[in-house]
A and B are shown apart, each in its own frame.
Chain A
Amino acid sequence: MKTVRIANGQGFWGDSVDAPLHLIAGGPLDYLGMDYLAEVTLSIMMRQKLKNPAAGYATDFIDFIRRALPQLVAKNIRVVTNAGGLNPKACREKIFEVARALGVSGFKVGVVEGDDLLTRLPDLLARGHQLKNMDSGLPLAPLLSHVTSANAYIGAQPVAEALAGGALIVLCGRVTDTALALGPLVHEFGWAADDWDRLASGTICGHILECGAQATGGNFTRWWEVPELWKVGYPIAEVEASGSFVVTKHPGTGGLVTVDTVSEQLVYEMGDPKIYITPDVTADFTSIRLAQDGADRVRVSGIAGGPRTPFLKISASYLDGYKAAGQVTVSGPRALEKARLAADLVWKRLERAGVVFAPEDCATEFLGVSGVLPGILPAPVDPPEVVLRLAVRDADRAKVDRFGKEIAPLVTAGPPGVTGFAGGRPKAQEVVAYWPALLAREEIERTIEVSVEAIE
């Protein structure tokens, strides 16, 4: 029986740079998914691309290719990634450049384009697509001049098409995280575009894999039971044509694959379990069956799905003012009282300088005394030390920068025992806010382009 082995070696941009290398070296693998895009990453890439037309993709992926390419070619491990960002063709050129430097040839790279809608927004709005915010219901048009990126989440079919064209590496932009797994499965098993149960199985497989080590013992409630987390094995799915699959990891790695670790990853950011909507299918998480299938092996089966929706999700980002955060550490005795005084000093000194923030635009946290879970755990009455963290946001950059200048004076003009003010004054950062919307899928599907090129 044919089994396809798909791994995830990168759960987000910033994840372990060595994990994908260990996956390649640690045992057999057919596909490796690599996720680099968070909701606002594309906004950062847009700015890079405006400065340099050859930029706008995940440069960490190039570092990975430099280390892994000879092995990928030798073992025919195919990589599917969203690292292409806003410039997958430039990313492909860079990969070819790296390959030539390494003396590696005889492979193809596929590019999926059509998710980038930024230049199409005026036309879409003019033709009556309001792109209303899915949370607030507000229309996008008034914010158009502040929009820094707009991308559609596209699905698994273009990925499968690139693989059918012989690509060893498929570079996408804003493809769904789950499509990094579903694309290869559609290609390998030829699942029909309306085979909802199997498409849902591949989607849920992608959901389990997409956060890397979170399926194999990372971020697990009973962390003390996880062996050798320092060398945690990233997740691998062994998928059968029926859609049923086993979640596992390479032998000799650390971590844990049990019904409990997989269950936790299934409920992670799940939303409404009956309608998990992707461009390819609507998956039903209430149909999933889990069973332990030996050590570090969990069988996932029984998955049902329903038809895809007529819409694709759009993820736009826009500039929404500025923010800054700064912190100091306050020692005891009477650490909390001193930290409260220090916070008070900052806000009063700012007020005297004429810099006032709306209540919802400033935050005071006492970390170490229920700072991140206020109202849940009883705070110690007299903790030995406290981290005071202050943050503000405002449309006016000058106000936010002025706030940044009021932290350091606490060291000499505050209570005693204030330390840990390092790294200079907090500077105003642009707030890149996120705008989710829906758009009729035909608008996007007619402009999706897949191209596969071999290295010369």
Chain B
Amino acid sequence: MIATMRVPLARLAHARSGDKGDASNVGLVAYSAELYEVIAREVTAERVRRHFSVICRGEVERFEVPNLLALNFLLHDALGGGGTASLLTDAQGKTHGQGLLEMQIEVPEGLF
């Protein structure tokens, strides 16, 4: 057994978000090639969907961008209709990147 610990995703990666049509687009960039392996394994589309379960009513798509050590997520139906139609304060998903970084990730002890 490898001893593990839980850390916020913010320890492993940084993020930025905005809107893409009616979806929220959350880009996640790992701080190193080693940490990219961890986020690519741990931060699945399904986990992101569960993390945003109150916000995201639709599917989550995930794209891998290994050259940038990045994952890109599209959270469908997460903006209350999007653009000008939305009634939400964050109609463009500007805060969703910060929200994703709060996800708790299981990593081997001594990873850092």
* Chain B residues touching A, majority SS: mixed
Do B87 and A320 have beta carbons less than 8 Å apart? no
Contact string against B for A residues 248-274, beta-carbon threshold 8 Å, 1 for contact and 0 otherwise: 000000000000100111111111111
Contact string against B for A residues 118-129, beta-carbon threshold 8 Å, 1 for contact and 0 otherwise: 000000000000
A291 CA / B49 CA spacing, docked (Å): 33
Is B55 positioned at the interface, with any CB of A under 8 Å from its CB?
Answer: yes
Contact string against B for A residues 220-248, beta-carbon threshold 8 Å, 1 for contact and 0 otherwise: 11100000000000000000000000000
Could you say which of B22, B25, B29 contacts A269, with CB atoms under 8 Å apart? B25
Do B85 and A375 have beta carbons less than 8 Å apart? no
A162 CA / B64 CA spacing, docked (Å): 38
A231 CA / B18 CA spacing, docked (Å): 24
Could you say which of B25, B68, B95 contacts A372, with CB atoms under 8 Å apart? B95
- Contact residue range for chain A? 35 or more
Do B66 and A286 have beta carbons less than 8 Å apart? yes
Interface residues of B in 59-78 (CB under 8 A from A): 63-70, 72, 74
Do B65 and A269 have beta carbons less than 8 Å apart? no
Is B54 positioned at the interface, with any CB of A under 8 Å from its CB?
Answer: yes
Of A13-21, A335-343, A432-440, the one contacting chain B is: A432-440
Interface residues of A in 277-333 (CB under 8 A from B): 285-290, 320, 323, 325
Do A392 and B68 have beta carbons less than 8 Å apart? no
Do B27 and A272 have beta carbons less than 8 Å apart? no
- Contact residue range for chain B? 35 or more
Do A365 and B84 have beta carbons less than 8 Å apart? no
A274 CA / B67 CA spacing, docked (Å): 12
Chain A residues within an 8 Å CB radius of B15: 221, 264
- Take A268-B18, A376-B99 as given contacts and tell me if A263 and B84 are in contact as well, using a CB distance cutoff of 8 Å: no
Do B83 and A39 have beta carbons less than 8 Å apart? yes
Chain A residues within an 8 Å CB radius of B20: 269-271
Do A389 and B89 have beta carbons less than 8 Å apart? yes
- Take A135-B21, A264-B29, A372-B95 as given contacts and tell me if A362 and B102 are in contact as well, using a CB distance cutoff of 8 Å: no
Could you say which of A265, A325, A372 contacts B87, with CB atoms under 8 Å apart? A325
Contact string against A for B residues 83-102, beta-carbon threshold 8 Å, 1 for contact and 0 otherwise: 11101111000011111011
Is A373 positioned at the interface, with any CB of B under 8 Å from its CB?
Answer: yes
Is A26 positioned at the interface, with any CB of B under 8 Å from its CB?
Answer: no
Q: How far is the CB of A181 from chain B (nearest CB, A)?
A: 19
Chain A residues within an 8 Å CB radius of B17: 268
Do B25 and A271 have beta carbons less than 8 Å apart? yes
Could you say which of A376, A389, A392 contacts B51, with CB atoms under 8 Å apart? A376
Q: How far is the CB of B26 from chain A (nearest CB, A)?
A: 8
- Take A134-B21, A222-B14, A267-B28 as given contacts and tell me if A376 and B68 are in contact as well, using a CB distance cutoff of 8 Å: no
* Chain A residues touching B, majority SS: mixed
Do B90 and A372 have beta carbons less than 8 Å apart? yes
How many contacts A-B (CB < 8 Å)?
Answer: 131
Could you say which of B22, B27, B82, B85 contacts A264, with CB atoms under 8 Å apart? B27
Could you say which of B64, B74, B89, B102 contacts A377, with CB atoms under 8 Å apart? B102
Do B55 and A374 have beta carbons less than 8 Å apart? yes
Is A367 positioned at the interface, with any CB of B under 8 Å from its CB?
Answer: yes
Contact string against A for B residues 2-27, beta-carbon threshold 8 Å, 1 for contact and 0 otherwise: 00000000100011111111100101
A378 to B, closest residue via Cβ: B102
A273 CA / B66 CA spacing, docked (Å): 11
Could you say which of B16, B74, B89, B90 contacts A265, with CB atoms under 8 Å apart? B16
A290 CA / B95 CA spacing, docked (Å): 26
Is A393 positioned at the interface, with any CB of B under 8 Å from its CB?
Answer: yes
Could you say which of B72, B84, B90 contacts A267, with CB atoms under 8 Å apart? B72
Chain B residues within an 8 Å CB radius of A290: 68
Do B52 and A375 have beta carbons less than 8 Å apart? yes
Q: How far is the CB of A375 from chain B (nearest CB, A)?
A: 3
Q: How far is the CB of B62 from chain A (nearest CB, A)?
A: 11
Q: How far is the CB of B46 from chain A (nearest CB, A)?
A: 16
Do A268 and B87 have beta carbons less than 8 Å apart? no
Chain A residues within an 8 Å CB radius of B10: 221
B31 to A, closest residue via Cβ: A260
Chain A residues within an 8 Å CB radius of B89: 365, 367, 371-372, 389
Give the residue among A266, A269, A393 with the most B Cβ atoms within 10 A.
Answer: A269
Chain B residues within an 8 Å CB radius of A260: 14, 29
* Other 14 A-B pairs with CB < 8 A, given A373-B96, A376-B99: A222-B14, A265-B16, A267-B28, A268-B17, A271-B25, A273-B72, A288-B68, A323-B85, A372-B90, A376-B55, A376-B102, A377-B102, A393-B87, A433-B83
| 20 CB < 8 A contacts A-B | A39-B83, A221-B10, A221-B14, A221-B16, A221-B97, A221-B101, A264-B16, A266-B68, A266-B70, A267-B28, A267-B29, A268-B18, A269-B20, A361-B87, A373-B98, A375-B52, A376-B54, A376-B55, A389-B89, A431-B85
Q: Which residues of B contact A (CB under 8 A)?
A: 10, 14-22, 25, 27-29, 51-55, 63-70, 72, 74, 80, 82-85, 87-90, 95-99, 101-102
